[in-house]
Every structure is written in C-alpha cells, then in structure tokens.
Amino acid sequence: MKVSKYNVYINSIDCLKIINTKEGSVVKITDTQLKDKIQQIQSGCDVIEDENIMALNRLGMIVDDDKEELCNDSLSQTLLVTLFVTKQCNFRCVYCYEKFTDECLNKEQYKTILSFISSKLSDFKYKKIRVNLFGGEPMLEYDNIIYFLEELNSLLKTRQDVSLSVGMTTNGYLLDIERYKTMVNLGLDDVQITVDGFSENHNKKRVLMNNKSGTWNKIMENLELIANYENHSKIILRTNFDGDTLEKEKDFLLYCKKRFNDQFIMHFEAIKKFNKNYTGECMSSKKENESVVDIIKFCKENEIDNIYKYILSRGFYACHQCSQNSYVFDTKLNVLKCTVLLDYNKTYVGKLNLKGVFESNDNLLLWDKKVKQCQNCNLYPLCLGRRCKGNMIKKQIDCCYNDLIDDFTAIINALY
C-alpha cells in the first residue's frame, strides 16, 4: 500500500490531521502506533493491515500500490457560459472596479449566443449547461434575461440528457419576490448578493447611482421574502469587509441567521484593490486571512452556514471562468476568460461572430496551457490548476502553492 498523493498533513502537538483533497475526507489521529504505521507506509515499508489502515484506505488516504490516482475536472462535461448582460449598474459602490456605460446585450445577440450553445450541444460532449448572469447589474436587463432563459429552456426540451443550472451575481435591490420566483422556475439555482454589514456601514459603501441614497433596507426586505419562499434557490450572502465592517461582522452574522431563518450561506472577504481610485482601507493578505479564520471559528461555534465549510468541494479554489469549457461574453460578444481583469488585453481570447461561431485568437493558448506537475500536487483537486489563472499569466508564474497551502491549512484548522 502507499499514501495518496492528494493527502495534506497537518502536525500538531496532540494529533496528526490528514486531509485527502480528492475524496474530501478528514481524520484526526492521536494514536502514536497508527502515526508510526503511516510514516512507515510513507517510507515505502510494508505494514500489517489492521482495521485502522483499512479505514484510511476507504477514505482514500491510503491506496493500493498499483492504483493510478486520477482526479477529473468537475467541469469536464459542463458548458459554462457567463454573460455580461449589461455594463450599467444602478449602484455606485465606492470600491467597484467596473467602468459603467449603457451597453447591454440585445435580443439579436442573445439569439447568436443561443446558436453558439446549440452548436456546442451537437457533439454530445456536455451533460450540463451552466449560465452565469453578470454585469453591471443584471437585473436592469430583467426582460431580456427572461427572454434568453425561456429560449434556452425551449432549446433544451429536445435534449433531456442535458441539465441547466443558472447563477446570478446581483446587488439584490431589484430582485423582488415575483421576479425571483419567475427566474427560479427558469433554472435559477444560486444567487450571490452582497450586503456589507449593518445599514450604517453598507449605506456608505453601496449607494444608488443617482441620488447616492442608502440601499440596505430594500435589499434586506427582498432577502426576507426570498428566505420565506419554500422553493428558494441557494443564496450566498457576501460581505466585503474593511476594519469598520469587521468590528460588527459577528453581530451581523448572528442577525442574518435569525432574520433569514438560517437559510443562507454566508461569505466574507476583505475589500480588494481592484479599483485603483479607491482610497479606503484594503487589508494585507495576512490580515485578511487571520480575520477570515477568526470569523470561521465564530461561525462554527454558532452553527452559521458559510462558504468555507465547503472548502473540500472539487474545484473550491478554481476559477471556473478560465476553464477550457468556459466562455465569457461581453456586450460586444468578445470572449473573455476572466470577469475581473477587464483592462488586461490577454483576458480577451476571441469573438463570437454573427453566426454564433467562436473565432479564437492566440491568447487562448495561454489559458489552455496546462502545467504538468499540477496533476501530482496534493491541492490539485481543489484548484485544478487554475487558481486565479489571469494573475498567474500576468505575473508569468505557474503556481501560487505556498500562499494556497497556508490559507488552506489555516481554514482546515479552524473547521476541524
């Protein structure tokens, strides 16, 4: 027998933690004899197979000598389509990096995208279509979105072997309950909505475009109605924090747990310096990681669902937009591989022509390039070789393993 190449080991004074990132399994070992046996297996020595060794085998932490461990990409049979449905937004968040214009996808462009999807389905490679609605603020284009989703659902009636999943990133201001129900019926599976803490802080950072007034009350009212809707989709409630938000973040998490009947998944990250003109606080990576770990521990103690509980999900750290099966369409039907690095020319990998055919350029080779050693990395099942690939291309590096393993280890220790 041999140890799995996808094991991560965390040693402490009182125990050894083994995490298998392929199977998503975790064990804490305190028995010194079992620790010694694992070390012997790591050294290539034979050991007597007992009940504990067989249990580790079932968890994927110890495998047969002749087993070739393969880790499949979770998106290998998924066609991923991300739409910048509009470049306009009804908010003017102080830290936002986007440049707003009145450009939006029109019906003819949606028809072109539908033609592209139809042609992609013709080779029977895909078992699932994942559509991400992005902006700007996608709900400004609600009528066109509904048109597109209705047409897509009609297209898929002839393909019962292909499932549809729709996600949306929205500020939540225009997502009233009736619109939400309509979208759920058309395949909306998950929504990410940002609320930056309590109203006092949120209303300073996430304001309306025209009158700069607060937006907190309306968003929270919409969320309350959604939480009480029996068939609601997965809702990820995100907070972008700085020092001011962080002071009351734990109180806000408890408030949301109570107000929304523990229905939502909480997500918290520090504000990033994506907007060069933003003059507010942006934490260092070290301080952000320490803050996130502290909040994770608080969530565990108070049974608050949060995104980091799913850290062992396949591709947790992977950027979906830069996968080989991913196509990000902007309002001019340019095809991108990132939704953040919009000013970086290598983000643009081609264009969709009027017939719905993708015409690629040389940039695509940069994004499709695979690093050989990735497959043998113990974190590969979580990052799949594409942890913020745009930054890696920009910095001309192949990997950010050291930062990732430190982040991963700290979160695992907070959870287990």
Q: Are residues 332 and 306 in the same domain?
A: yes
Average pLDDT, the chain: 94
41 part of a folded domain: yes
Q: Answer yes or no: is 236 within a domain.
A: yes
Share of the chain above pLDDT 90, in %: 81
Q: Do 10 and 154 sit in the same domain of this protein?
A: no
pLDDT of residue 275: 85
The answer on 111 and 57 residing in a single domain is: no
pLDDT at 222: 98
pLDDT over threshold 90, residue 47: no
Give the long-range contacts of residues 209-217, CB within 8 A, separation 24 or more. Answer: 209/89, 209/90, 209/91, 209/92, 212/92, 215/91, 215/171, 215/173
pLDDT of residue 254: 98
Written as one string, the DSSP assignment of 306-371 is: BGGGGTTSTTTT--GGGSTTEEEE-TT-EEES-SS-TT-GGGEEEEE-TTS-EEE-THHHHHH---
In a domain, 116, yes or no: yes
| End residue of a domain, out of 37, 63, 89 | 63
104 and 23 co-located in one domain: no
pLDDT score at 239? 97
Domain that holds residue 121: 74-416
- Could you read off the pLDDT of 311-340 as tens digits, one per residue? 999 999 999 999 999 999 999 999 999 999
What pLDDT does residue 52 have? 92
Q: Which of 368, 379, 240 is nearest to 316 (CA)?
A: 379
Looking at the predicted structure, is the pLDDT value of residue 303 above 90? yes
What pLDDT shows up at residue 388? 83
- Within-domain flag for 69: no
Chain segment 152-194, per-residue pLDDT in tens: 999 999 999 999 999 999 999 999 999 999 999 999 999 999 9
- Give the span between the Cα atoms of 316 and 394, in whole angstroms: 22
Total domains in the fold of the chain: 2
Has residue 63 got a pLDDT over 80? yes
The mean per-residue pLDDT over the stretch 61-78 comes to 92
Region 233-255 average pLDDT: 95
223/308 same-domain check: yes
- The pLDDT tens digits for 88-111 are 999 999 999 999 999 999 999 999
Same structural domain for residues 126 and 185? Answer: yes
Q: Is there a contact between 297 and 261 (Cβ–Cβ < 8 Å)?
A: no
pLDDT in the model for residue 213: 81
| Eight-state DSSP code of residue 70 | -
pLDDT grade, residue 392 (50/70/90)? confident
Tell me, yes or no, whether 68 lies in a domain: no
Pick from 39, 63, 87: which residue ends a domain? Answer: 63
351 pLDDT exceeds 90?
yes
Instruction: Please report the pLDDT score of residue 56 as a whole number.
Output: 95
Do 33 and 84 fall into the same domain?
no
Q: Are residues 49 and 191 in the same domain?
A: no
- Do the domain assignments include residue 316? yes
pLDDT for 400 equals 80
Residue 411: is its pLDDT beyond 80? yes
Q: How confident is the model at residue 371 (pLDDT cuts 50, 70, 90)?
A: confident
- Cβ atoms of 110 and 151 within 8 Å: the answer is yes
Last residue of a domain, one of 14, 37, 63: 63
Whether 243 is covered by a domain: the verdict is yes
Q: What pLDDT score was predicted for residue 332?
A: 98
* CATH number of the domain within which 102 lies: 3.20.20.70
Examine the pLDDT at 232 and tell me if it is beyond 90.
Answer: yes
Confidence of residue 390 (pLDDT cuts 50, 70, 90): confident
pLDDT of residue 186: 98
Note whether 58 and 135 are same-domain residues: no
pLDDT at 273 over 90: no
Q: Are residues 33 and 152 in the same domain?
A: no
Whether residues 27 and 106 share a domain: the answer is no
* Position 402 in a domain: yes
43 and 94, same domain (yes or no): no
